[in-house]
Amino acid sequence: MARKTGSHSEITGPRIREAAVRLFARHGYAAVSMRQIAAAVGVQAGALYLYTPDKQTLLFDLMRAHMEDLLRAWQAEPMRRAPLHRLEDFCRFHIRYHLDRTDGTFISYMELRNLEPKNFEMIGALRRDYEAALETILRDGVAEGRFTLPDTKLSTMALIAMLTGVNTWFRESGRLSRERVEQIYWDMVRRSVGA
């Protein structure tokens, strides 16, 4: 398996994506240059174009990967039957997953406006799929008389905003443990739906 000197295709690709996620999250897509990403990886700017046709595609691929991973991870969770249990699972899953991917989450919320229209629409569709997962739980709960919600669509948006907000303030070294944070958010969510 001899390989030419300086040939690192299997590791450079992932490293470019990791560096781009971190830098885009920290400074914003428009504020980060291809040179900065290359420098973080340890290659020259031109080498990036072996892995992405352009900067816009790099952003889009990162956002799509984030959303697809999120959907896959939720679908892989064991699914309990009762709406109240499913709502609890969703809350805890959402908090855990997003705290584990702060940079990817940040980009997926902040950089939508930097996507070209076609790419914007594709990411929007993935996001709506995820929101639909929560709304289905809420609708089932209302149908079974467990939740009291006059508008499940509004409540879906309200709850996702509340839960995702954990990323703006939570620090691993802070006062509250993850488990405690999960528990308190879940208590608020449970009460907010009238359960």
Nearer CB in complex with DNA: 45/184: 45
Site for its own copies in 47-66 (CB under 8 A): none
Contacting its own copies (CB under 8 A), which of 74, 93, 185, 186? 185
Q: What is the rounded CA–CA span in Å between residue 184 and residue 187?
A: 5
CB of 102 to DNA, least distance (A): 23
- 71 binds DNA per the rule CB under 7 A: no
The candidate with the shortest Cα–Cα distance to 29, out of 51, 57, 59, is 59
- 194 binds its own copies per the rule CB under 8 A: yes
Q: What is the rounded CA–CA span in Å between residue 81 and residue 134?
A: 14
- String of DSSP letters for 99-152: HHTHHHHHHHHHSGGGS-HHHHHHHHHHHHHHHHHHHHHHHHHHHTTS---S-H
Contacting its own copies (CB under 8 A), which of 3, 72, 118, 191? 191
- String of DSSP letters for 14-70: HHHHHHHHHHHHHH-TTT--HHHHHHHHTS-GGGGGGT-SSHHHHHHHHHHHHHHHH
Range in contact with its own copies (rule: CB under 8 A) among 60-68, 71-79, 136-144, 160-168: 160-168
Range in contact with DNA (rule: CB under 7 A) among 29-37, 71-79, 122-130, 131-139: 29-37
- 45 binds DNA per the rule CB under 7 A: yes
Contacting its own copies (CB under 8 A), which of 26, 35, 80, 85? 26
Q: What is the rounded CA–CA span in Å between residue 146 and residue 141?
A: 5
- 176 binds its own copies per the rule CB under 8 A: yes
Residue 169 partner contact from DNA, its own copies, none using kind-dependent CB cut-offs of 5 to 8 Å: its own copies
Residue 192 φ then ψ, to 5°: -65, -25
Binding residues for its own copies (CB under 8 A): 26-31, 110, 113-114, 150-151, 154-155, 157-162, 164-166, 168-169, 176, 181, 184-185, 187-189, 191-194
